[in-house]
Each structure stands twice: as C-alpha cells, then as structure tokens.
C-alpha cells in the first residue's frame, strides 16, 4: 500500500473501519429483493448469482422488476436451466448486454447438471460460464460467507476516495484491490461487500458526496485532502465511432415481420427487424429483404459499448412474404415481442408514424 493507505490505517485500523461500516449497514441497509437483512440467513446462491449478473453495468432501479419477473417465472436454477433460450432472451429484453442472458442459460444448465449446487468458492464459481472475478467473489461472499474482495463501480469509488488513490483508471485497479483487501474482514464478508455497495450508492455518490453522512469520513484520505469527488481519477474518454445502418419494418395485415438474430454476435438470439448488416462493419450495406416502395420513417440513435449507431428506419406495406426464417408478429402486441432496446426504439418510431398517418 502507498502513503495514502498508511495514513488511512493510522487513523483507524482496518478492523475499526470494517466494524464502523458494518454498524452503519446494520441500520441503513437497502431493502432489495435479492438480499437478506443484516443478521438473517444468507440468500440462496441462485438469487445472488442472478441478481449480480443482472446488475452488471445496470442500475438497481432497472434490475428490480426484471429480477422479480425472472424469479417468479423461473424460481430455481433447475427451472431456468430447462427454459427455452429464446424465452429467456425475450424476458431479458431491455436490460442490454445480451451475452449475459445467453451465459445465464449456459451457466444454469451446467449447475443443473451438477445437481443444482453452485460451487461455494471463487475458484469453482469462475469455472462456470459467464462468471468472472467480480461475480464469483460476490456469490462466494454473499451466498456462502467466504472472505472475498468484491469490487464493483461503487466499491471502486469508495476505496479510491478512502485511500486517495490518485492513479487514473483503469491502471489504478490493482491498487484499489490491494486497499480493499486490507479492510475486508474475515467475518461478515458478504455484509461488508454489500455495505460498501450501499455506501457508494448512498453517501459516497459520484457527484457531491455527502461526507457528513458517511460512517468512514474520519478515515477518508480523499476528504482530508479537501476534494473527495475527484476520486476515482479517470483517464479522458475517447470519442466513440459512429456507425450507420438501416432496419426494415415490413407490415402485412396488421402484423410486422420479425427475424431471430444469430445466436452469437451482437444482440444474439433476440427477435428483431431485418437490417442491412450494420453490425458486421462500420456501415450497413445489405439490400432490403423485399423489393417495393420503401418509405423513410426517421432515425433512431443507440449507444453500444464500443460505438454509437444511427439507424434509419424504412417501412413497407406489402402482400409479399419475405424469404428466410421469421414470423409475423401482431403490431398491436409488438411490446411483448421481447425486442432489444435498439429495435424497441425503432418500433416506437414506426408506431408514431402510423398514428400520424391514421
């Protein structure tokens, strides 16, 4: 640890920091459907794993209804393992990062093949499909009470401020992990991890941290320096490249033509409108799936991890049948098609055009 770490631990031992944070958590823990209250028996690993996969790069507010729907429809890992992958993908629609949903099914099937039991340690968990270092640590700590260093974006922010780690991300992550390891207790490791998450989502917010409400403020080197909000230090963001593409709304007798995207690749396995292949390169270049009097209906914008997309929507009313696999979906029920967010935006645009022309 660096000099900042030494300063923090000099004003309060690692044990004292953990104890103070856990005392705060006992009183202020968030009430979330995948959690057990402090002092209660740990939630089952299925619920912890499912919630942690959903919460990756997604807010608690967005995840809550999805979690409740999934656990009502598939209450056990065996039930999820037996589910049709297409149905799981449709239920996931709107959460984004759809590879998570494919890995969810693959992992559930592997756990079911093990008799329904998740491994109870990080090494074993990391061997399952789609489980990386963070999720393995979270499940090991929260579901099984193992001592594990659990670092998400909230914990990253708390620790970088607590220890005034001034190296920019992502290079600072090794120092953040070392510092987090120094204060993680042997007992109540799951509660400690969740307390750190709650601290980051509560008093220690990204902007305007409420230091007067923070149980660790007297130990915080970032606060002692006078500007805790400058941590974590982030390298300048590079501008995302912008791709162009088109998608096609083909309507016949009150139904719209939907296709199923390939299982691997962007938005894999999801229902969608036909498109011109924008996902295969910088710009789409494919032809419409049918000849006809195509009409432009506007554009939608969407951000992916590594690029932004401007997608032009083209519409056609026809009596013809497109070639290839697909299905006619009732326009009035398009909200239940399980479209990913990009194509849900295009659907809303098409529906607004229909209303204007009615």
Q: Please identify every residue annotated as catalytic.
A: 52
Closest CA to 250 of 273, 231, 233: 273
| Residue the block writes with tokens 């479209």 | 339
Q: In whole angstroms, give the CA distance from residue 275 to residue 338.
A: 17
Q: How far is CA 72 from CA 59, 96, 103, 117, 159, in A?
A: 20, 21, 20, 20, 36
Q: In whole angstroms, give the CA distance from residue 250 to residue 159.
A: 52
Q: Which residues contact 225 (CB under 8 A, 6 or more apart)?
A: 164
| Cβ atoms 331, 255 nearer than 8 A | yes
CA 20, 25, 26, 27 torsion: positive or negative?
A: positive
Burial class of residue 236 (count of CB atoms within 10 Å of its CB; 0-12, 13-18, 19+): exposed
């Amino acid at each position: 640890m660096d000099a900042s770490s030494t300063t923090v631990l000099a004003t309060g031992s690692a044990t004292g920091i953990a104890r103070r944070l856990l005392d705060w958590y006992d009183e202020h823990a968030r009430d979330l459907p995948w959690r057990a209250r402090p002092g209660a028996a740990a939630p089952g690993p299925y619920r912890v794993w499912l919630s942690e996969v959903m919460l990756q790069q997604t807010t608690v507010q967005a995840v809550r209804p999805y979690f409740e729907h999934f656990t009502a429809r598939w209450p056990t890992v065996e039930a999820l393992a037996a589910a049709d992958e297409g149905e799981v993908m449709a239920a996931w629609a709107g959460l984004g990062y759809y590879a998570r949903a494919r890995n969810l099914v693959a992992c559930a099937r592997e756990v079911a093949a093990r008799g329904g039991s998740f491994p109870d340690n990080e090494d074993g968990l990391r061997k399952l499909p789609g489980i990386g270092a963070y999720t393995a640590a979270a499940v090991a700590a929260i579901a099984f009470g193992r001592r594990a260093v659990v670092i998400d974006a909230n914990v990253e922010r708390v620790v970088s401020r607590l220890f005034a780690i001034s190296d920019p991300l992502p290079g600072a992550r090794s120092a953040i992990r070392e510092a987090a390891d120094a204060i993680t207790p042997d007992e109540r490791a799951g509660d400690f991890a969740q307390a750190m998450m709650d601290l980051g989502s509560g008093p220690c917010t990204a902007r305007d941290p409420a230091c007067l409400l923070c149980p660790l403020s007297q130990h915080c080197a970032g606060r002692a320096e006078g500007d805790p909000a400058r941590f974590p230090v982030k390298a300048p963001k590079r501008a995302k490249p912008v791709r162009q593409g088109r998608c096609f709304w083909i309507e016949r007798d009150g139904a719209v033509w939907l296709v199923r995207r390939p299982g691997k690749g962007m938005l894999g396995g999801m229902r969608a409108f036909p498109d011109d292949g924008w996902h295969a390169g910088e710009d789409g270049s494919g032809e419409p799936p049918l000849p006809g009097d195509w009409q432009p209906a506007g554009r939608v914008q969407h951000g992916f991890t590594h690029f932004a997309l401007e997608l032009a929507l083209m519409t056609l009313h026809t009596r013809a049948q497109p070639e290839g696999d697909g299905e006619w979906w009732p326009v009035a029920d398009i909200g239940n098609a399980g479209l990913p967010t990009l194509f849900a935006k295009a659907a809303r645009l098409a529906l607004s055009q229909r209303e204007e022309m009615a």
